[in-house]
Every structure is written in structure tokens, then in C-alpha cells.
Amino acid sequence: MKLAVLPGDGIGPEIVAQAVKVLNVLRADGLKIEMEEAPIGGAGYDSAGDPLPQATFKLAQDADAVLLGAVGDWKYDDLPRDMRPERGLLRIRKDLNLFANLRPALLYPELASASTLKPEVVSGLDLMIVRELTGDIYFGQPRGISRLKNGEREGINTMRYSESEIRRIGRIAFDIAMKRNKKVCSVDKANVLETTELWRQVMIEIARDYPEVELGHMYVDNAAMQLVRAPRQFDVMVTGNIFGDILSDEAAMLTGSIGMLPSASLDEHNKGMYEPSHGSAPDIAGKDMANPLATILSVAMMFRYTFNDPASADRIDNAVRKVIAQGYRTGDIWTQGSEKVSCSGMGDAVVAAM
């Protein structure tokens, strides 16, 4: 297994270091894992003048899977858009054709009180957001800021989806639903936006091939509301790039902390990039206090989806379950009475539990 390891910016390097410890446990037990590190985001810009240096892209392209920390820092905010860290992330997603972004939101029973919502609303929560990742208003042309005839500026972005783009992400969602509770909720804004009217039509067409799966539809505003009102009604949610970006942050918070949520971004051959759903948190970078569990759980997803090794995936998932049950907490999920640990302390606890 060839792995490209891209720590990125902010807390990226420290959380990735914990995930690498976990990989080293598996390696010591006989798995043949090769890892090579390269800079991306602000780190890419600093070292090679490009948020996705050519050598980094090549490494990622040749690898079987990519492990990514996070990108972004305020200090890059004034760079031209193409040089900003986020651009490196968007380019690697697009250029590796990682169109299927899986963001599970799972509540560990012991963390119910860490959620800002009432425990009875969130307990038992287990939903999977399937977000399209290489299309939509994120990539649609035309885009830009231009000058109108009257001299004022105008900003333009374009929401667009082709039928085949919708179909391939829809199929992924239905396939995942077949392995879960067989419910898909497709999120759109079909009452206003034609792009998503087509989205809805295509989802209905796909559903004909999955008679066992119950397909429902929700407008995105209602979905945002339902997620905090009664989140357990959802099994699999499938939606476009921008709606998925927003709803996945919201869903993450139901579980107590965005620091718990892993993600997988897959191409059609299940090659994938694995990263925590959260950002680079520059305010706590280098302080050894970030929660590494989302990154560690992303490694579990890597074994599940790319390496087809559910035993190793379960081993990591179970170790995380165990450290949570043992009461270890980083600051973001800490509640009175539990034991506060550092980022590296949490990594060590997971390694011990394995």
C-alpha cells in the first residue's frame, strides 16, 4: 500500500503525526505500508510557490491513497486566489477526480453530553452525508469578478451539474444505503434552482434500479432545519458540493465536535483521499491540543474503502471507541469528570488501545 501523506497547515502536521503512529502499529504487525510525505496548501506555497506543487500532485497520483491533514492559515488570506491554500485542496480533489465525498456523522454514546443539542435528540445518531465534490458552483464557469458598464463590480459564480455527474454520485449514495438502513434523502433546492431540479429528476431515475431503497427529497433549507430538529430521521443524505459543504459542518456539530468526524473522497475506482472534516484551526496550531480522532478515523475509512481491509478498519474504529469509553478527551470534547489529554496523548491512547 503506497500512501501519500500531506500534513498541510495549522494543526495538520500534529494530527497527521498521530494517524501515522496508528499506521505504524499496523505496519509493525505485518501490513506492507509505504508512506511518503509532501507539502500542500500554505506549506506548498512556502516551499514551492504553489499550494499544490507538481511533485506533491505526482506523489498523490502515484499513491494508492492520500492522507491529508488540513490546509489554510490567515497569513495567506491576501494572496491571489490561485495561490491560496484552499486552492491546493480544490485542485487535488478535481485533478484526482475525487467526486464522492463521504462524511459520516456518528455519535459515540459517551459524547452525547458534549453536543450542544439535547442528548435525547442526538443519541443514536448515525448518518452518512454523501457530498458531490468536483462540480457545482465550486467549479462552474463562468466565474470571476468583473466590471460592469456603469463602473461597479459584479461577482459571478455558476451552479451547474451534468446528468452524468449527478448520476455517478447518486449511485454511490444508493449503494451505501443498501449496506445501511436503505434510506436516501436527496437534498436540493428544486423549487428555485433548475440545476437541482435536474438533480431531483436524476435521483428519481436512479431509484428505479434500487427498489429496496426508500428515496425522499428535501429542500436544503428544510434539511438544515430537520438536522437540528430530528437528526435521527436520516440514514444517507446525498447532495451537491455547496449544500454538502454546509450541511456536513452542521451534522458534525450534532456529534459534539467537528474534531471527531473523518471523511473519504473517492474516485470511481475507490482510490481515495482521507482527511478530517474539520479545518486547520491555526489558533491552536502547534499547541498539541487538537483532537486527532477525526484523522485517525479517516485512516480507518481508508482501510474500509480503498484497501478493502475491514479488519484493520474495525481495529482502528474499536480502539477509538475504547479510548472514548475510557474517558480520554481532548479539549473540544472534554466535559467535567473526564480526563483531558493532549493531541499526542490521545494518539498514544489509541495506539495503546490497539
Give yes or no: 189 in active site. Answer: yes
Residue 41 amino acid letter:
G
DSSP 130-160: EEE-S-GGGT-SS-EEEE-TTS-EEEE----
Least Å distance, CB 245 to Mg ion, is 4
Of Mg ion, ligand IPM, none, which one does residue 86 interact with (CB within 5 to 8 Å by kind)?
A: ligand IPM
Give the helix, strand, coil percentages of the chain, each rounded to 5: 50, 20, 35
Give yes or no: 82 in active site. Answer: no
Distance, in Å, from the CA atom of 226 to the CA atom of 245, rounded to the nearest integer, reads 16
* Distances 51 to 36, 299, 323 between C-alpha atoms, Å: 18, 23, 35
Q: C-alpha angle 211/213/216, rounded to 5°?
A: 115
Q: Which is nearer to ligand IPM, 86 or 348 (CB)?
A: 86
Question: Which region among 29-37, 83-91, 119-127, 200-208 touches ligand IPM (by CB under 6 A)?
Answer: 83-91
Distance, in Å, from the CA atom of 307 to the CA atom of 84, rounded to the nearest integer, reads 32
Distance, in Å, from the CA atom of 212 to the CA atom of 210, rounded to the nearest integer, reads 5
* Among 76, 189, 210, 332, the one annotated catalytic: 189
Which residue, judged by CB position, is nearest to ligand IPM in the bound state? 86
By CB under 6 A, tell whether 245 contacts ligand IPM. yes
Binds ligand IPM by CB under 6 A, chosen from 68, 89, 92, 302: 89
Contact set for Mg ion, span 239-258 (CB under 5 A)? 245
Question: Which region among 82-90, 167-175, 205-213, 251-259 touches ligand IPM (by CB under 6 A)?
Answer: 82-90
Count of residues touching ligand IPM (by CB under 6 A)? 4
Instruction: Identify the H or E element spanning 264.
Output: strand 262-266
* Among 50, 76, 136, 138, the one annotated catalytic: 138
DSSP 206-219: HHTT-TTSEEEEEE
Least Å distance, CB 260 to Mg ion, is 15
Give yes or no: 221 in active site. Answer: yes
Question: Which region among 86-94, 175-183, 297-305, 343-351 touches ligand IPM (by CB under 6 A)?
Answer: 86-94
Of Mg ion, ligand IPM, none, which one does residue 267 interact with (CB within 5 to 8 Å by kind)?
A: none
Least Å distance, CB 40 to ligand IPM, is 12
Count of residues touching Mg ion (by CB under 5 A)? 1
Least Å distance, CB 23 to ligand IPM, is 22
By CB under 6 A, tell whether 250 contacts ligand IPM. no
Q: At what angle do helices 343-353 and 310-325 cross, to 10 degrees?
A: 120
User: Are 236 and 173 contacting, i.e. CB atoms less than 8 angstroms apart?
Assistant: yes
DSSP 48-86: HSSSS-HHHHHHHHHSSEEEEEE---GGGTTS-GGGSHH
Give yes or no: 179 in active site. Answer: no
Give yes or no: 245 in active site. Answer: yes
Q: Which is nearer to Mg ion, 41 or 347 (CB)?
A: 41
Cis link prior to 142 (omega < 30° from 0)? yes
Question: Which region among 85-93, 163-171, 197-205, 232-240 touches ligand IPM (by CB under 6 A)?
Answer: 85-93
Least Å distance, CB 248 to Mg ion, is 6
Distance, in Å, from the CA atom of 121 to the CA atom of 101, rounded to the nearest integer, reads 26
Candidates 97, 113, 128; CA nearest to 251 is 128
265 alpha-carbon distance from chain centroid: 7
Q: Which is nearer to ligand IPM, 89 or 176 (CB)?
A: 89
By CB under 5 A, tell whether 309 contacts Mg ion. no
Give residues in contact with ligand IPM (CB under 6 A): 86, 89-90, 245
Residues with catalytic roles: 138, 189, 221, 245, 249
Give residues in contact with Mg ion (CB under 5 A): 245
